[in-house]
Amino acid sequence: QLQLVESGGGSVQAGGSLRLSCAASENTDQYFCVGWFRQAPGKKREGVATIYTGSGNTYYVDSVKGRFTISRDNAKSTLYLQMNSLKPEDTAIYYCAASQSGYCYQLIPTDYPYWGQGTQVTVSS
């Protein structure tokens, strides 16, 4: 069973940057979509960014376009999320996830059966 472990969260001031990492227990090429999701207190979990492993195409929620970048390492076992120009509204627990089906561009959390434990990101104004 795929295991995912996130790291890199922390506290930053608005305008700052963080890079999240997600170490997978195996090559993620066999998973259709891999991506990052987040959940703020009192809110539903939402998709942030995903990669369709077949083509490498990436997809982002509108609120992070131009600020966040999702990528994988060459071994395809580590997923990254580079977050720049952070805003207080980016504060949330960030999770990485993988799916063997679905439409990556839809960023729907319920399409993903494999999840990490999450890492906290706090952005202060």
In angstroms, the first-to-last Cα distance of the chain is: 40
The pLDDT tens digits of the residues spanning 72-114 come to: 997 889 999 999 999 999 999 999 999 998 899 999 999 999 9
DSSP 100: S
In tens, the pLDDT along 31-82 reads 999 999 999 999 999 999 999 999 999 999 999 999 999 999 978 899 999 9
Residue 31, token pair as written in the block: 């998973």
Residue with token string 């980016």: 90
